[in-house]
Amino acid sequence: MKQSVEVMTIGHSKNITPEKLIVGGLTSTLLVANTFFMVYNCKVSRSVAMQQTAPFLLVSVIDGEGPIPVDNGFFCFRK
């Protein structure tokens, strides 16, 4: 993870120290942010509802399983 953060800086990074937020079953750490993107490390321990605040969202699931609501149904995944 440290090596990924080291190569992601484009211009001056807005956050030097990772910012951590713990709400319910979600632990979210902002690793790097700049004008173009933000990278978070999120750990989810139970069902969490999140509002998308940007027009684009890319998510990688490292481990776990669960449903993701999509349109009128659910996308189930298992990693």
Pairing between β-strand 65-70 and β-strand 73-78 as defined by DSSP bridges: antiparallel
pTM value is: 0.65
Please, which pLDDT band fits residue 28 given cuts at 50, 70 and 90?
A: very high
Q: Residue ranges of the domains in the chain?
A: 2-78
In this predicted structure, what is the pLDDT of residue 22?
92
For the record, the structure tokens of 48 come out as 């969490």
Residue 24 to residue 52: CA distance in whole angstroms? 17
String of b and e for 26-51 (b: at least 16 CB within 10 Å)? bebebbbeeeeeebeeeeeeeeeeee
Q: Kindly state the average pLDDT of the residues 47-55.
A: 84
